[in-house]
Structure 1
Amino acid sequence: MGPIRGMNFGAFDLNLLRVFDALMRERSVTRAGEQIGLSQPAVSQALNRLRGVLDDQLFVRRGPEMLPTPRADELGPVIRNALAEVERALTGDRRFDPATAQRSYTLIGADFVSLLVMPPLFARVSQAAPGVRIRLVDTARGDVERLLQEDAIDLAIEPALAVPEWVSRERLFDSPFLVIAARENPELAAAGVAPDEAIPLDLFCRLPHAIRTVDGTLSGWLDEALAQAGRERRVVLGLPHFAGVALAVAQSGLIAALPAQFARAAAEPLGLAIYRAPVAAGVPEISMYWHGRHDRNPAHQWLRGLVRDVVAGF
């Protein structure tokens, strides 16, 4: 093939595209090298070669991150899709052998996923695929659609999302809300409310609430149901993680509405009692989301199957 825009494409080292794609995903020379099995100096050398060939810095350092230039942002989706097509052409529908696989998976989800899904998931992965690494990034990492498009994540485990057609989705389980409080909560004891009972509406609205919030908004699903009844609760603490909310409740007179699976898991170790809310709130549906180009990828199908098995009892 002849020169393209001043570049002899026939002499171009296509392995550089893997380095570029890893840098786009990881925004770190070190992590990019870990992903594709190259040393940090080798990644830096490849980046310098790319900069020379494309006549652009491609990535500039800002703090600990390597941020893509506009030229890199333009090339990123094109190169990513091209590499995916090559992978599909080479692998076809052949079987995935987890016992010999050497690769990493990245998932995104709340600490709900970190505490309840990832430990049993890794137990299965470590038994079946000792060469596979797996990690979870927090929902605060960014927009799920963008991360899937960039292949920065393999799978998202989230409540209902509005996603485009190219994102595939599979429902995993429903997660209704339950209310937690310290076992010795004096207000609930004085009112004679026993665990597993519904907290009276007036008391529920009067008690101080903690809420899990990523963006600082002090309202959620339950507040919509209360508003329909013409009521509101008193939210006094917002924290970004369910675990932090549960710990705060255990050490104070707070109450909190948390996903049922998390509430039940936290109750015994933290000394919490579980109650029902006085109003019926919407029930979040938890699903896994992935890029449609991985629908038939055997390695991705294997991961989705493991997640499906782990949450089957939720």
Structure 2
Amino acid sequence: MALPDLNQLRTFVVLYEMRSLTATADRLHVTQPTVSYTLARLRERFSDDLFRREGHVMVPTARATQLFGPLHEALAQIDAVVSVPDDFDPARFTGELTLGLTSIGEQTFLPPIMAALAREAAGPHLQVERLDANQVEDGLIRGTIDLAMTVSSIGTPSLWRTRVRAVEYVALSADSHPLPHTSPSMFEGRRFVRVSARGGHVFPLRALSEHGLLPQVALTVEEYATVPAVLEATDLVVLLPRHVAEVFCGWFPRLQIAELPWPGQSTPVSLYTRREASLSPAQKWFRSLVLGAVSDGIELSEQLGQIGHAD
């Protein structure tokens, strides 16, 4: 049986990313029957359904998922060889870039990123997607997200990971209800706010559980956004990363930070992208810009040197 040609493989890669026959046809500027015919040929060639329709979504099989990474990277390398190299000019780029952030990441990282874009006089449309830690890998591999930042540790060889900043946790409360000096009993009689760990911040829940403080949780919320106002109006306490607590104290001056009585380190915030060969010039530029904007002091050259090493 003849090997698939490049057009067939490109159709497969785009269908994997788009999960829709119609959207794939639009992306490739062909008709939907052409995509359906190509899929039939690919199914015959690989002796697998590759995609199964579930409602309006084409869900990839295990075989399709196995094929996608190597085929996507191979096509990206071919495109890089045959395309005419152009010097990328951020000031002339007006396309869309998608950044995956948690709600807490939006509050702490978006201001410096937008300031960095302004300094470079760059005018992309930046689309921020709310990040669920369980969906980071799929979004990056499919290309629905260009870059993502999370404390979740994703060990797949399909992605590059670069450390952005360390994460140290502290306690935050209203200055009208200060916490005593750091000691094992500093939380005695205090009530807590617990925030969902969907964004990857699992340390607070683990710490509350390990130190027998879960019965003192009085409020559970999905997002950090309302927590500072709640703290100012109550005697509640929240455990959260130091860099976020410092931002909140800048917005709400009646809050104060207290050190934890036990080690409060977790996995660092990391930036994830596709593998180097699969990145466009715009994505490579944006990655460097984001690293420079949000890094906690590590030399940018050192960070970029880490790219290509799956931690």
Task: Please confirm whether the aligned pair reaches a TM-score higher than 0.5, indicating the same fold.
Answer: yes
Distance 1:29 1:52, change over 3 A: closer
Distance 1:217 1:160 in 2: 5
Letter aligned with residue 95 of structure 1:
D
Distance 2:278 2:147 in 1: 12
Distance 1:217 1:293, change over 3 A: closer
Contact 1:294–1:300 (CA under 8 A) maintained in structure 2: no
Determine if the alignment matches structure 1 residue 176 to structure 2 residue 168: yes
1:89 alignment partner in structure 2: 81
Distance 1:30 1:115, change over 3 A: farther
Determine if the alignment matches structure 1 residue 283 to structure 2 residue 275: no
Structure 1 unaligned residues grouped into runs of 5+: none
Determine if the alignment matches structure 1 residue 253 to structure 2 residue 235: yes
Task: State the shift of 1:149 in Å.
Answer: 3.9
1:215-234 superposed Cα distances (whole Å, 9 cap, x missing partner): 5999725754984xx65452
1:139 alignment partner in structure 2: 131
Determine if the alignment matches structure 1 residue 107 to structure 2 residue 90: no
Report sequence identity in percent. Answer: 21
Distance 1:121 1:37 in 2: 32
Number of positions where the alignment pairs a residue of Structure 1 with one of Structure 2: 289
Determine if the alignment matches structure 1 residue 308 to structure 2 residue 261: no
Letter aligned with residue 193 of structure 2:
A
1:141-161 superposed Cα distances (whole Å, 9 cap, x missing partner): 634444444444332312261
Task: State the shift of 1:271 in Å.
Answer: 5.8
Distance 1:51 1:287, change over 3 A: closer
Contact 1:108–1:153 (CA under 8 A) maintained in structure 2: yes
2:244 alignment partner in structure 1: 262
Letter aligned with residue 213 of structure 1:
S
TM-score of the two chains, using structure 2 as the length reference = 0.70
Task: State the shift of 1:124 in Å.
Answer: 4.0
Task: State the shift of 1:182 in Å.
Answer: 3.5
Contact 2:100–2:130 (CA under 8 A) maintained in structure 1: yes
2:35 alignment partner in structure 1: 47
Task: State the shift of 1:140 in Å.
Answer: 1.6
Written as runs of structure 1 = structure 2, the 5 A alignment for 1:1-314 is 4=2, 14=7, 17-18=9-10, 20-27=12-19, 36=27, 44=32, 47-54=35-42, 58=51, 60-62=53-55, 65-69=57-61, 72-73=64-65, 75-90=67-82, 95-101=87-93, 103-125=95-117, 128-130=121-123, 132-140=124-132, 142-159=134-151, 161-165=153-157, 167-184=159-176, 188=177, 193=178, 198=181, 201-214=184-197, 220-221=203-204, 223-224=206-207, 227=210, 232=213, 234-270=216-252, 272-284=254-266, 285-294=268-277, 298-312=281-295
Task: State the shift of 1:210 in Å.
Answer: 1.4
**DSSP-derived class of the 1:202 partner:** coil
TM-score of the two chains, using structure 1 as the length reference = 0.70
1:53-95 superposed Cα distances (whole Å, 9 cap, x missing partner): 44668352436x4433556445433432232222332359763
1:254-289 superposed Cα distances (whole Å, 9 cap, x missing partner): 210111222222234456512213413332322212
Letter aligned with residue 60 of structure 1:
R
1:83-133 superposed Cα distances (whole Å, 9 cap, x missing partner): 222233235976322233454433333212222223442454466443x33
Contact 2:151–2:201 (CA under 8 A) maintained in structure 1: no
Letter aligned with residue 50 of structure 1:
T
Task: State the shift of 1:17 in Å.
Answer: 5.0
Distance 1:30 1:282, change over 3 A: farther
Structure 2 unaligned residues grouped into runs of 5+: 44-48, 298-311
Distance 1:294 1:79, change over 3 A: closer
Distance 2:22 2:231 in 1: 40
Distance 1:311 1:141 in 2: 19
1:33-63 superposed Cα distances (whole Å, 9 cap, x missing partner): 89x586xxx6745533434544668352436
Distance 1:30 1:274, change over 3 A: farther
